[in-house]
Amino acid sequence: MTQTADPAPLIAPPGLAGVVVADTALGDVRGAEGFFHYRQYDATGLARDHSVEDVWHLLLRGDLPDPETARAWRGEIAEQLLATDRYGEQLTAVLRAAPTRAPLSSLRTAISAYGVLTGDEPLWDLDDAAREQAALRTAAAVPWLVAAAYAVGRGEQPRPARPELGYVGNYLWMVTGGTPDERAVRALGRYLCLTVDHGFNASTFTARVVASTGADLTACVVAAIGALSGPLHGGAPSRALDALDQIGTVENAAPWARAQLAAGQRVMGFGHAVYRGLDPRSELLRETATELGGDTAELAVRVEKEVVRVLDEAKPDRPLRANVEYYAGVVMQECGIPRELFTPTFACSRVIGWTAHILEQARGRKIFRPSSRYVGPPVQ
């Protein structure tokens, strides 16, 4: 077969590192500076001073709400939480049909069913108002579905939503069955605000690729959940806490870190694909874990210092510091979130960012379609 040579393709670096694939007005991660923002606001400042609902409004509608707007906005979210309750019997049946101890897998199935029940339509066919409604409806359903999947996996009945507790308080209630105290609501709220969005990470990029096809919003979120399920993305908080369990005492921290490096293993909870120094999210979460107190928080702070010392000795040219996952597990555990719900809880936050990115992508009319370079046997 006669082969016609095409121009040599431009090969992107592995993982598309450093490649700009789209414009966004939602935020940015400045890895070299150790800084990230949502729209025009420092994200860590928002997490310290604002609620999840405020940040949600900022990403979806473009501004931080004033008190009157905030009340109305919380009312809209409450309506969506109660709307999910109305499908509770059908969604519980879906969860029971495929019981699993992996709530993220159940969430993927249940959110797909929810899209069918609510009549989700292709983004291509919807106007901006209908798209936004689909985004709000779907994001509001995720905490209910996560908590319901956890309950069903334990042979229990899902708890009804209590939207008067707020987004974070309602989630804690549905998972634990107890009315949460203000410390837990504040601490978990900080974590959720810090993880709402973080640039074009794997799950967000996946959601935008599917959105570029004009698919329905539910399909985009299901795809993002699939990306999040990988241990290199959403599974790290529980693994970092597992590492703390293995270490046990501060005296074991340095030997453990050296053993990990000698075995070529990743030191879970340290280093980041973008940040070349301290992950700014870990600073606020360290402070939050310390405020919550407890033996695990105290151990985590002391172990961090020892592990960083070993990493600096082994890799003096590349500083590896604690990332968001290192303290995330500590904070979630102290707030009453069971370990198997760490990644699904991350999804309760990140779905807000996913849906904002999906809406932004849907306003474009161009499908993602990169090229590849063939490296197989010559064509005969």
Phi, psi for 125 (deg, rounded to 5)? -95, 0
Catalytic annotation, pick one of 198, 325, 334, 357: 325
Integer Cα distance of 174 and 330 in angstroms:
20
Q: Is 258 helix (H, G, I), strand (E, B) or coil?
A: helix
Q: Is 208 helix (H, G, I), strand (E, B) or coil?
A: helix
Catalytic annotation, pick one of 272, 304, 334, 357: 272
Task: Measure Cα distances from 151 to 72, 198, 364 in Å.
Answer: 31, 30, 40
233 catalytic per annotation? no
Which long-range contacts link 210-215 to residues 24+ away (Cβ below 8 Å)?
A: 211/123, 211/357, 211/358, 211/361, 211/362, 212/361, 212/364, 212/366, 212/367, 212/368, 213/367, 214/122, 214/123, 214/124, 214/125, 214/362, 214/367, 215/122, 215/123, 215/124
Integer Cα distance of 191 and 364 in angstroms:
31
- If you search the block for the tokens 């900022």, which residue do you land on? 58
50 catalytic per annotation? no
Integer Cα distance of 307 and 321 in angstroms:
9
Measured in whole angstroms, how far is the alpha carbon of residue 377 from the centre of its chain? 40
Measured in whole angstroms, how far is the alpha carbon of residue 326 from the centre of its chain? 15
Q: Is 321 helix (H, G, I), strand (E, B) or coil?
A: coil
Cβ distance 58 to 39 under 8 Å?
A: yes
Residue 317's DSSP bridge partners are none
- Which residue numbers are catalytic? 272, 325
